[in-house]
Amino acid sequence: MADNTFKVSIITPERTFYEGEATMVEFNTVEGEIGVLPKHIPLTTVIAPGICTITEAEGVKKAAVHAGLAEILPDKVTLLAEIAEWPDEIDVERARSAEDRARARLAEKDANLDVLRAEVALKKALVRQDIKAK
């Protein structure tokens, strides 16, 4: 491992989504966006839905990551994600339908509505569409 790289693992319940060496990784947390470089201070944080950008020596990879936990160590970053998807794995029409359903639920203002769940569903749909547009 070169001095300017670190190991990155993205693991979901279904698979090891990504394993490799990176010079930087960027993703969303519940506190905001974070960028991690080699020798970062140890940190554990909660992942929020968003685009994860992995900068490798060969180029940049982007994936949609939808919630989970991240462990950051000086020489390794591990994302334990509920869902992780490469852009070519995303069905944009399905994401648009999910966005429409979430917006309709939020607009109804039903007293029994789980607002947080509807907002998270909307964010996931928007992330999926955003990564496909890039």
Write the class of the CATH domain 91-133.
mainly alpha
3 state SS of 14: coil
Task: Give residue 16's identity as a one-letter amino acid code.
Answer: T
pLDDT attached to residue 12: 97
Whole-prediction pTM value? 0.85
Q: How confident is the model at residue 1 (pLDDT cuts 50, 70, 90)?
A: low
Judged against a pLDDT cut of 70, whether residue 89 lies above it is answered with yes
Domain boundaries of the chain, sorted by first residue: 6-85, 91-133
- Fold exhibited by the domain 6-85: ATP Synthase; domain 1 (2.60.15)
Task: For residues 66-94, give the mean pLDDT.
Answer: 95
Task: For residues 75-94, give the mean pLDDT.
Answer: 94
Q: What is the mean pLDDT of the chain?
A: 92
Judged against a pLDDT cut of 70, whether residue 58 lies above it is answered with yes
Burial class (CB in 10 A: 0-12, 13-18, 19+), 102: buried
Judged against a pLDDT cut of 80, whether residue 16 lies above it is answered with yes
Task: For residues 37-55, give the mean pLDDT.
Answer: 95
pLDDT attached to residue 133: 80
pLDDT attached to residue 44: 97
CA nearest 83: which of 100, 64, 99? 64
